[in-house]
Structure 1
Amino acid sequence: MSQTTAFISELIRAANEVEKLTPFEVSRLLDRSVDTIREMHEQAGVGGNRRAKDVVIDLGIASARVRDLSTEDIRDTLIDAADVIRALRIILAERE
């Protein structure tokens, strides 16, 4: 299993067990997601995409405000991060 696939699994697992996570753990996952998405955008050559920047900004804001988010919002945000990373993984795999 690749690191990217493992991280996607980790995000989905966290979303399914969000009640067990501390705000720090959620924030850390979201920060890792931002870093991963930025790196993958750069590799895929879509770094300047406005939608890509919006996702990164939204995840960064969610990370900073994690204590203010509901359990449902945290779950949705983790799943969104996993979806974006999964889509980028597919794009990168097609280009190889």
Structure 2
Amino acid sequence: MSLTTDFIAELIRAANEADRLTPFEVKRLLNRSVATIREMREQTGVPGSYRVKDVVIDLQVAAARADALPANEIRDNLLDAADIIRTLKIILDGKPS
């Protein structure tokens, strides 16, 4: 498995255990997700959006509020991050070298 695939699996596992994660773990996972998504967007040429509905902005807000997020919002944010990263990985895997 690739590092990206491993990270996607880590996000999904964490989402399934959202009620057991510490705020530090949530913040770390969400911040890693933001960095990964930005890097992958750059590699794919898929631009980010500076509008209110960009998932990166949502993830950054969630990371900043990690100590106050209920388990269901933690789960949703981690699954959103995994979904975006998986989609970007599919795009990257399909790009000619």
TM-score tier after normalising by the smaller chain length: over 0.9
Quote how far apart the aligned CAs of 1:50 are. 5.2
Query: Is 1:41 matched up with 2:69?
Result: no
1:2 corresponds to = 2
TM-score by length of 2: 0.91
What is the CA–CA distance in structure 2 between the aligned matches of 1:55 and 1:14, rounded to whole Å?
18
Output one character per residue of 1:58-78: Cα deviation in whole Å (capped at 9) or x when no partner: 100000011221110000000
Q: 2:31 — aligned with what?
A: 31
Q: Which residue of 2 aligns with 1:14?
A: 14
Aligned to 1:77: 77
Q: Secondary structure at the match of 2:12?
A: helix
Distance 2:76 2:36 in 1: 18
Task: Give % identity.
Answer: 65
The alignment's C-alpha RMSD in Å is 1.5
Q: How many residues align?
A: 95
Taking structure 1 as the reference length, what is the TM-score of the superposition?
0.92
Deviation for aligned residue 1:86: 0.2
Gaps of 5+ in 1: none
